[in-house]
Amino acid sequence: LTNVFFCKCCAPFCSGSLQIQFANTEDKQEFSKFPTKAGRRSLSRSISQSSTDSYSSAASYTDSSDDETSPRDKAQVNTHGSSDFCVKNIKQAEFGRREIEIAEQDMSALISLRKRAQGEKPLAGAKIVGCTHITAQTAVLIETLVALGAQCRWTACNIYSTQNEVAAALAETGVPVFAWKGESEDDFWWCIDRCVNTEGWQANMILDDGGDLTHWVYKKYPSVFKKVRGIVEESVTGVHRLYQLSKAGKLCVPAMNVNDSVTKQKFDNLYCCRESILDGLKRTTDIMFGGKQVVVCGYGEVGKGCCTALKALGAIVCITEIDPICALQACMDGFRVVKLSEVIRQMDVVITCTGTVPHAVTFITSALIITVSSKHIRTSIKYASLRSPELTWERVRSQVDHIIWPDGKRVVLLAEGRLLNLSCSTVPTFVLSITATTQALALIELFNAPEGRYKQDVYLLPKKMDEYVASLHLPNFDAHLTELSDEQAKYMGLNKNGPFKPNYYR
Amino acid sequence: LTNVFFCKCCAPFCSGSLQIQFANTEDKQEFSKFPTKAGRRSLSRSISQSSTDSYSSAASYTDSSDDETSPRDKAQVNTHGSSDFCVKNIKQAEFGRREIEIAEQDMSALISLRKRAQGEKPLAGAKIVGCTHITAQTAVLIETLVALGAQCRWTACNIYSTQNEVAAALAETGVPVFAWKGESEDDFWWCIDRCVNTEGWQANMILDDGGDLTHWVYKKYPSVFKKVRGIVEESVTGVHRLYQLSKAGKLCVPAMNVNDSVTKQKFDNLYCCRESILDGLKRTTDIMFGGKQVVVCGYGEVGKGCCTALKALGAIVCITEIDPICALQACMDGFRVVKLSEVIRQMDVVITCTGTVPHAVTFITSALIITVSSKHIRTSIKYASLRSPELTWERVRSQVDHIIWPDGKRVVLLAEGRLLNLSCSTVPTFVLSITATTQALALIELFNAPEGRYKQDVYLLPKKMDEYVASLHLPNFDAHLTELSDEQAKYMGLNKNGPFKPNYYR
Amino acid sequence: LTNVFFCKCCAPFCSGSLQIQFANTEDKQEFSKFPTKAGRRSLSRSISQSSTDSYSSAASYTDSSDDETSPRDKAQVNTHGSSDFCVKNIKQAEFGRREIEIAEQDMSALISLRKRAQGEKPLAGAKIVGCTHITAQTAVLIETLVALGAQCRWTACNIYSTQNEVAAALAETGVPVFAWKGESEDDFWWCIDRCVNTEGWQANMILDDGGDLTHWVYKKYPSVFKKVRGIVEESVTGVHRLYQLSKAGKLCVPAMNVNDSVTKQKFDNLYCCRESILDGLKRTTDIMFGGKQVVVCGYGEVGKGCCTALKALGAIVCITEIDPICALQACMDGFRVVKLSEVIRQMDVVITCTGTVPHAVTFITSALIITVSSKHIRTSIKYASLRSPELTWERVRSQVDHIIWPDGKRVVLLAEGRLLNLSCSTVPTFVLSITATTQALALIELFNAPEGRYKQDVYLLPKKMDEYVASLHLPNFDAHLTELSDEQAKYMGLNKNGPFKPNYYR
Amino acid sequence: LTNVFFCKCCAPFCSGSLQIQFANTEDKQEFSKFPTKAGRRSLSRSISQSSTDSYSSAASYTDSSDDETSPRDKAQVNTHGSSDFCVKNIKQAEFGRREIEIAEQDMSALISLRKRAQGEKPLAGAKIVGCTHITAQTAVLIETLVALGAQCRWTACNIYSTQNEVAAALAETGVPVFAWKGESEDDFWWCIDRCVNTEGWQANMILDDGGDLTHWVYKKYPSVFKKVRGIVEESVTGVHRLYQLSKAGKLCVPAMNVNDSVTKQKFDNLYCCRESILDGLKRTTDIMFGGKQVVVCGYGEVGKGCCTALKALGAIVCITEIDPICALQACMDGFRVVKLSEVIRQMDVVITCTGTVPHAVTFITSALIITVSSKHIRTSIKYASLRSPELTWERVRSQVDHIIWPDGKRVVLLAEGRLLNLSCSTVPTFVLSITATTQALALIELFNAPEGRYKQDVYLLPKKMDEYVASLHLPNFDAHLTELSDEQAKYMGLNKNGPFKPNYYR
């Protein structure tokens, strides 16, 4: 899921989520193309709507701004006299600060990292150029990196997802931020360039989300890599690109694949979807869960999370699966495993949680939600055909379309078939905290690693670090770990401080 | 809960919800006063905010209207040439119609009532004057009454809760509606008067919610009661007034107490709260439920609903109770029963579901939600003292206040301690359908009852009608009842068509 | 359920549980007859099997006794020199004592009653003649009565359910007990007579379970009632008889109906079945619950308890119901409501939880469990027809029959269609403790009530006593009740010590 | 868990389960020794008790046999005239057949394997020597192998676990079985020898459980390996030995590690414990779950299964963990994570689910159940110290000991601290079916693999076979898999028939 939330570049995959179900030739061709800005933009729009609609009061505050001047054309100075930034409106800094403070309350792992590192400053000397979504949560990450000793320059990985007031708050504290909500494609690359190409400062670490920053440096400033000690990449797409570079022998620095760390995989999909499926459905449709008949397509981690929540709230849930192992789990967990065509007429809600493919853990995560208010829809739905001239589309609320058949039957489509939890609900800050902490630790590890520990390859975080990330989040729950005695540890052949599980453990 | 949602007059009780916890002398005096408009207004404001904030897109559409002219000063005519109505803007009728249509999809019990009564028109000749909230859901009720043969005139029971576009849609179809959002107190009584006091039309049935309409007719037009066959009252407060009238020997027509019907009592609190607690918390705070420590004060039906949902989503819930029977149920259901003072320091969230008193089933239902982001709050909180000068209040979002202690600790208070599910979440249309159907059946029963069946007293719906209401809602779930065989029915001494439970069954 | 467990006289009703489903004329006639010993015996046999098979090691110890001499023909003396008792073997007293001690651990409410009453001895002067099942749990009750000051004489209400070693333990401590496992009908009445008709001792209180003792006194020693202050009756049948006596004007002392106390009704069915359905199924069939398709007939408290447990363990459960209110609850709780004939072919397990009738709360509680290992059984099953010559019955384990169709299909029938939780699982001692405590309190109340408080009628325990019973059980869970402040109590018009709910509250 | 059920050789580990908690020097020395028969015997005794106490009626039937003659001294002939077997009593064959038939109903995967292979006989020519537990479930496996064309000779891997009547049934159909319940150590090796060393028949496949058979062949008949095409090993210990052989270069045939197949790992621990924890607790203690405070030590798959079931039945569960990742999962799942010493005084039940070590997935699985009936036990308990002279042990039922402190406090210890689900509950046949099917497929694969596919090494089953095993079990649940369309498969780069997940997927 996190890859979803953060992943600008999964746009074609996301619309691809529909294609998986109803793939046709044109779609496939589109899919195989390198993600273009056009593709990106279509998702970006959805992210933008998400921010607007249901993100937080912050977003709507931002929206109320009617200033149409491009930030590139404004001269702005923060209260410290610096103008090395480009944001929508530096005056929103105070409001943004409050949003950051609220986020900090659920990201205490990063706060505790700050405290533990107060003396040593493990990132002293690090010059990090970063390209991520710019939200209150990433602001907590960035300010943690600064607290650990790093200098940072930052830009947005998505043209729509920037929370302007957060960008302003960062700029106000002296972080050179180049980002605003609603950038043009030209703005996008201009911002990246302003981060990388600045006089008297050269990055020695890269934190990327989607690979655009990395791509730009490769293309325009390859010499930068001479000083770079490593790349930390968070998104599925970005990781995919890095593996391709590595395969082609073109990766010239070590890279850390944060996306596939155990902590991220174990928590993001299952727990995040358990929380957001209900939220997304309520915010968009005010639907009552009790007694609703729901078919969930796919019983991977995403599907498991959705099913747990829906069943608990009184929905009657069944499953479709292609993989017999997941299907058997669904059976044991108390869900009927059916074919969509067998049950579609009885279902009130169809939720697709398909999208796993074999070569990566979860590189397409899709969640098409169709709320079938009529029970007479005949077959599984092909998105393209939903746009046929016989069908009338009526937008009844933001992210909610009624699709009306000639005979009057209505199907409610949420988020136009895009990801519900991206578009229509919020993602718990706590989950983002896990990823952000992992990113911070990956940066520390790469920056401080002795010569030779990492070569020009893509690495996973060592198990022990995964466990450390988890341990930093336990105080949120007032959880107390048990410590092995010396005897017990010796008997079991374990180090008392872990790692406790083998690397292949999931 | 329904009483909560519909109950204009429980305003003092609602602020009273805090007083129950921390009652003091002044509060008590206020409580014992007859609810004045002032008291009413304070709740009304909250309802209004609710509509604005989280109700539906409809409400926000309404809000965007910047027309400041009083509807009383406007000359409006619907497309059929009638001007016997007074709404904000008759031109919003089409939009209101869509909202009504959406509501109809979850109120199929009323739709099926319409169908079943197509031939007979059981309300032919009924002239109903009604005073309820005017929302898409009540519009479905009103239009059902019309379809059953009744003539209706309608006004709002609350000065803030009217959905203007729904009022317009009703007026457009020819129902004389007198209501808009944001009436003054004078407007309020003017509207009631316009409903009752009209030339050439005299009501013979009253449908009231809160007792204001009944009160007005008693005071101004007592002669109307000569023709009135009965009153149907839905709210706790209104029912209370009716019992007082009856006790005083002043009730001059039969009255039906819809509030205490089994179907309503059994479903509203438990299921509605199970759905809305999560919704309300997410919309206001984006909180993650997993692992949160929550104390729920009160394990009645409201508390049971909240606890079920929170536990299912991974919260760690404990309970406070005064009643040993409910406490023992909490134990058996797997919740620790504690005193608030024992656990308050460890809790992330405090939810009050107190408010039952012995003489009515649930006449005060309160839900103060305090999200304790700090764990250092020392004692249970007294609302008045929260307004002390040492504490800083910061409104971070609509319905969300941070209360900041001198040492920097923050407590998040939702809805200013008023009902969360009223203010911050939606109530499932399906649940409102149960109440609306009961109201319709009560009207039919009173209107058609043979002379002498009902005297000048307050009645509960017969068990059989409760069962009928339930049965009308089963098709929503595609549920199929089993029918007793003749032998089985005879053996058990039951009528095959019910009632199946004794009247005292709950 | 308790009525089930304790009710000798519900024998015809229990076999009636099948008749409810498939009633025919002969059955009905049998049903309407006064329960004869023959009818009683048929259940007794089942109780006996229950004790033998799955009750506890105690029972099997008893069984291993090969002493065939009738206890009536033995001369036995306890270690204190008394021979005023008649049990199987006084030497088993020590073993019985251990069983009683184990039971005491889950009956701490009675133990605390003993402690609270140490000074006052509220039953000093009481001479109680009792007729109940004689098990470790009732022994704890009897010894509590003695500790509270009463003199007791005791006999068994069932010819098969006596735990011989427990009877021995009671006799050893000086309680005159007349009971053993496997009494003849003549023995049964002889034992009752020995309890009542003893020189120099006359009962002034009666504790009955099933009404046989009361019946005997009425018939043989009516003069005893001159001194009797009251009857406490626990079973559905016994209560029914008392109401008949009262109606006929023949009840000459006050009687307390313990069966319908709130605490008993609220806890026995729901929680007891939630625990015992899994236990009974595992002990008999070793069935795996995960993924099993189960239809539960009836969604009253018994059905709700079964469904909760089965769903939680991964079974896929659907419901049949005749009552639309219960059906609607099933829907909201996430169960499909179906007709048996629609689903029977797909089901793995059929569980009947039918048996409510309108004039009493739950006087027939039945649980026929059919485990359908074949999915080709065509129709709902009629017990009589299961005994048809075409079908082969194979007893594969105790309480487990395979019924084999000519085509080889097998149906597994548990407990021959009798109550599963009576026959195949244990009932938690804690639940029996609730009933036993209520009985003790009822005795105290009747014995100490001032002249005139109770007339010659049948009474329910006052609400406050129900609450007291509940409160005595809270320490088992380390539960801490909250106490209303004076202000709060005054505001709510409640006494701080309860009762907190109206009498009609359930 | 399966390793638990089947694992003769984990005896020292199992007593080790206590040592993990309270390890001392002597224990450790014992642990590091090669498992001797002495060690084995101590577990075997427990298995034996398990069979006797709670296994099935079959076991008790067996027990009632009072024939003391050693099977080795009896001359027995089956009805076909063969005497090539050695079982307790060939006359029990019919009864054993019925037990096998009952097992077949939950092992339909094997039955369907038989059907699919009716034409081809994939094991035609296979001569399998097997050494496993001999139960109804393994009988279904053996008879499946025979149906697939194999010739089998079989012996028991445990001296106590043989179901005599099942062994008789196998011998009756012509499978040379050498096994009975209660073998001496000499008998044990004699039986193995009789399987391997028979004139005119030489094994070409080995199916082992624990490695004793393999060990014997290595030691006594190394030349047999010239013809053997492979070894299939199921237990943790046996697999461990094979890896050691392989490492030492002494493995001279391919071996298949069935223990670590995904299907087994994914299902056995989680689902099996979810079912058996409740069963084991009820059968031994009749405990009521509702409201019980339980601490579960360890939140791996075993712990997760236990917690799910207990929470669902109303217990209040908290967790101890050493691994922060599992601890964080526990938090998100709604369990407090505590140290044992913090909570031990409040707990009613302590359940240990510790036992994971890093080098194997789960080679120590322990489940010490301590039911603390007193709440005054001061510290975590060390098993050795429980045997101190101050403490009195009282065996109250089979597998249930009361340990009595000098001050009268009692602790209930189940199964003497050994595995509860091994000793006190049954394991669902369905779960055993998964393992048995995997064993059958592994045999087929090794027997038919083309020269060179497998070398002299230890292999895991390919993912695709795991998926096949799962798919064979879906019909039990009437589950219908969805099939990818050609387009979808191509798009996702998957073969339509799987495998659907990467090999490292868990």
Structural domain includes residue D290: yes
> If you average pLDDT over each of B87-96, C21-30, C493-502, which comes out highest?
B87-96
Query: Cα-flanking dihedrals φ and ψ of residue A448, to 5°?
Result: -100, -5
Angstrom distance (rounded) from CA C449 to CA D281: 44
Instruction: Report pLDDT digits (tens) over D4-29.
Output: 222 222 222 222 222 222 223 333 33
Instruction: Report pLDDT digits (tens) over A40-79.
Output: 222 222 222 222 222 333 333 344 445 678 999 999 999 9
Angstrom distance (rounded) from CA A259 to CA A237: 10
pTM here is: 0.82
Angstrom distance (rounded) from CA A94 to CA B325: 51
Instruction: Report pLDDT digits (tens) over C175-227.
Output: 999 999 989 999 999 999 999 999 999 999 999 998 999 999 999 999 999 99
Which chains would you list as touching D if contact means 3+ CB atom pairs under 8 Å? A, B, C
Structural domain includes residue C168: yes
Q: Does D334 touch chain A (CB under 8 A)?
A: no
Q: Which amino acid is at B240?
A: H
Between A332 and B363, where is the model more confident? A332
Q: Cβ(C163)–Cβ(C134) under 8 Å?
A: yes
Please give the biggest Cα pair distance in chain A: 74
pLDDT confidence of residue B174: 96
| Long-range contacts (CB closer than 8 Å, 24 or more residues apart) made by D66-71 | D70/D187, D71/D180
CB contact under 8 A, C291 and A315: no
Instruction: Report pLDDT digits (tens) over C361-376.
Output: 222 223 345 544 333 3
Instruction: Report pLDDT digits (tens) over A79-103.
Output: 999 999 999 999 999 999 988 988 8
CB contact under 8 A, B314 and A271: yes
pLDDT confidence of residue B269: 77
Between B37 and D263, where is the model more confident? D263
pLDDT value at A167 more than 70: yes
CB-based contacts of C392, cutoff 8 Å, min separation 6: C403, C404
Q: A47-75 burial string, b = 16+ CB within 10 Å, else e?
A: bbbbbbbbbbebbebbeeeeeeeebeeee
Angstrom distance (rounded) from CA C355 to CA B480: 19
Q: Does the interface ipTM go beyond 0.90?
A: no
Average pLDDT value for residue range D211-239: 93
- Rg of chain B, C-alpha, whole Å: 23
Conformational region of residue B314, where left means phi above 0, alpha means psi within -120 to 50, and beta covers everything else: left
pLDDT confidence of residue A417: 67
Structure tokens at D179: 């096994």
Q: Which of D315, D321, D319 is nearest to D281 (CA)?
A: D315
Angstrom distance (rounded) from CA D134 to CA A504: 34
Instruction: Report pLDDT digits (tens) over A312-335.
Output: 999 999 998 889 999 999 999 999
Structural domain includes residue A163: yes
Instruction: Report pLDDT digits (tens) over D90-108.
Output: 999 999 998 898 889 889 8
Lowest mean pLDDT among A307-311, B6-10, C125-129, C148-152: B6-10
Structural domain includes residue D491: no
Angstrom distance (rounded) from CA C284 to CA C414: 8
User: Do A244 and A274 sit in the same domain of this protein?
Assistant: no
Which chains would you list as touching C if contact means 3+ CB atom pairs under 8 Å? A, B, D
Q: Cβ(D367)–Cβ(D414) under 8 Å?
A: no
Residue in this structure with the two tokens 């079912």, named with its chain if needed: D275
- Residues of chain B positioned with their CB less than 8 A from the CB of D331: 290-291
- The count of C-alpha atoms lying within 13 angstroms of the C-alpha of B86, restricted to the half-sphere facing its C-beta, is 20
Please give the biggest Cα pair distance in chain B: 74
pLDDT confidence of residue A67: 67
User: Do B230 and B310 sit in the same domain of this protein?
Assistant: no
CB-based contacts of A77, cutoff 8 Å, min separation 6: A83, A90
Instruction: Report pLDDT digits (tens) over A193-211.
Output: 999 999 999 999 999 998 9
Average pLDDT value for residue range D445-453: 93
Instruction: Report pLDDT digits (tens) over C418-440.
Output: 667 666 777 788 888 999 999 99
Between C65 and B259, where is the model more confident? B259
Structural domain includes residue C454: no
Q: Does A334 touch chain C (CB under 8 A)?
A: yes
Domain harbouring B92, CATH code: 3.40.50.1480
Q: Does D477 touch chain A (CB under 8 A)?
A: yes
User: Do A351 and A440 sit in the same domain of this protein?
Assistant: no
Lowest mean pLDDT among C403-412, C431-440, D365-374: D365-374
User: Do D289 and D260 sit in the same domain of this protein?
Assistant: no
Structure tokens at D99: 């037990």
pLDDT confidence of residue D86: 97
Angstrom distance (rounded) from CA A338 to CA D480: 5
Q: Does B315 touch chain D (CB under 8 A)?
A: yes
CB-based contacts of C20, cutoff 8 Å, min separation 6: B488, B491, B492, C354, C355, C364, C366
Q: Cβ(D362)–Cβ(D355) under 8 Å?
A: yes
Query: Cα-flanking dihedrals φ and ψ of residue B213, to 5°?
Result: -60, -50
pLDDT confidence of residue D66: 54
User: Do A96 and A240 sit in the same domain of this protein?
Assistant: yes
pLDDT confidence band for A15 (50 / 70 / 90): very low
pLDDT value at B231 more than 70: yes
Q: Which of B106, B36, B170 is nearest to B429 (CA)?
A: B106
pLDDT confidence band for C315 (50 / 70 / 90): very high
Average pLDDT value for residue range B249-261: 91
3-state secondary structure of C313: coil
Lowest mean pLDDT among A327-336, C19-28, C385-394, C421-430: C19-28
Number of H helices, E strands in chain D: 21, 15
Average pLDDT value for residue range B80-97: 95
Structure tokens at C260: 């319908």
Instruction: Report pLDDT digits (tens) over B153-212.
Output: 999 998 888 999 999 999 999 999 999 998 999 999 999 999 999 999 999 999 999 899
pLDDT value at D122 more than 80: yes
A30 labeled part of a ligand binding site: no
Between A33 and A82, where is the model more confident? A82
pLDDT confidence of residue C364: 23
pLDDT value at B43 more than 70: no
Structural domain includes residue C453: no
Q: Which of residues 47-76 of C touch D (CB under 8 A)?
A: 56-57
pLDDT value at B14 more than 70: no
Q: Which of B466, B323, A125 is nearest to C469 (CA)?
A: B323
Q: Cβ(C122)–Cβ(C448) under 8 Å?
A: yes
Between C212 and D237, where is the model more confident? C212
Average pLDDT value for residue range D196-208: 95
* Cβ neighbours, 10 Å, residue D51: 22
Query: Cα-flanking dihedrals φ and ψ of residue D258, to 5°?
Result: -80, -25
User: Do A319 and A231 sit in the same domain of this protein?
Assistant: no
pLDDT confidence of residue D49: 27
Structural domain includes residue C114: yes
User: Do B249 and B269 sit in the same domain of this protein?
Assistant: no
pLDDT value at D381 more than 80: no
Lowest mean pLDDT among A150-154, B447-451, C338-342: C338-342
β-pairing, A230-233 vs A205-208, is parallel
User: Do D315 and D228 sit in the same domain of this protein?
Assistant: no
Average pLDDT value for residue range D262-291: 85
pLDDT confidence of residue D418: 64
Which among B57, B102, B291 has CB closest to A398? B57
User: Do B211 and B188 sit in the same domain of this protein?
Assistant: yes
pLDDT confidence of residue C55: 30
- Rg of chain A, C-alpha, whole Å: 23
User: Do A115 and A152 sit in the same domain of this protein?
Assistant: yes
Q: Where are the beta strands (DSSP E) in A116-199?
A: 127-132, 151-156, 177-178
pLDDT value at A34 more than 60: no
Average pLDDT value for residue range A365-371: 42
pLDDT confidence band for A379 (50 / 70 / 90): very low
CB contact under 8 A, A316 and C333: no
Q: Which of D62, D132, D72 is nearest to D99 (CA)?
A: D62
Percentage of residues in chain C having pLDDT higher than 70: 78
pLDDT confidence band for B423 (50 / 70 / 90): low
Domain harbouring B397, CATH code: 3.40.50.720
Burial group, residue D44, by CB count within 10 angstroms (0-12, 13-18, 19+): buried
pLDDT value at B504 more than 80: no
Residue in this structure with the two tokens 């952000």, named with its chain if needed: A436
Residue in this structure with the two tokens 């970063």, named with its chain if needed: A130
Conformational region of residue A215, where left means phi above 0, alpha means psi within -120 to 50, and beta covers everything else: alpha
D234 labeled part of a ligand binding site: yes
Instruction: Report pLDDT digits (tens) over C29-77.
Output: 333 333 333 322 222 222 222 222 223 323 333 444 456 789 999 999 9
What integer best gives the mean pLDDT of chain B?
Answer: 78
List the binding residues of C for NAD(+).
Answer: 300-305, 321, 374-376, 421
Q: Does D336 touch chain A (CB under 8 A)?
A: yes
Lowest mean pLDDT among A373-387, C71-85, D403-417: A373-387
Q: Which of B352, B384, B385 is nearest to B370 (CA)?
A: B352
Between A55 and C284, where is the model more confident? C284
Domain that residue B182 falls in = 2-260+432-446
* Cβ neighbours, 10 Å, residue B335: 27
Q: Which of D262, D306, D258, D456 is nearest to A504 (CA)?
A: D262
Angstrom distance (rounded) from CA A369 to CA A384: 16
Q: Does D428 touch chain A (CB under 8 A)?
A: no
3-state secondary structure of B458: strand
Percentage of residues in chain A having pLDDT higher than 90: 46
Number of domains, chain D: 2
* Cβ neighbours, 10 Å, residue B29: 9
Residue in this structure with the two tokens 């059968």, named with its chain if needed: D283
User: Do B200 and B285 sit in the same domain of this protein?
Assistant: no
> If you average pLDDT over each of A362-376, A425-439, B443-457, which comes out highest?
B443-457
Angstrom distance (rounded) from CA C213 to CA C191: 10
Q: Does D182 touch chain A (CB under 8 A)?
A: no
Q: Which of B102, B308, B344, B427 to mutate to test the interface with A (most CBs of A within 10 A)?
A: B102
User: Do C190 and C277 sit in the same domain of this protein?
Assistant: no
Structural domain includes residue D419: yes
Structure tokens at A454: 């990492």
pLDDT value at D338 more than 50: yes
* Cβ neighbours, 10 Å, residue C451: 5
CA A14 to chain centre: 13
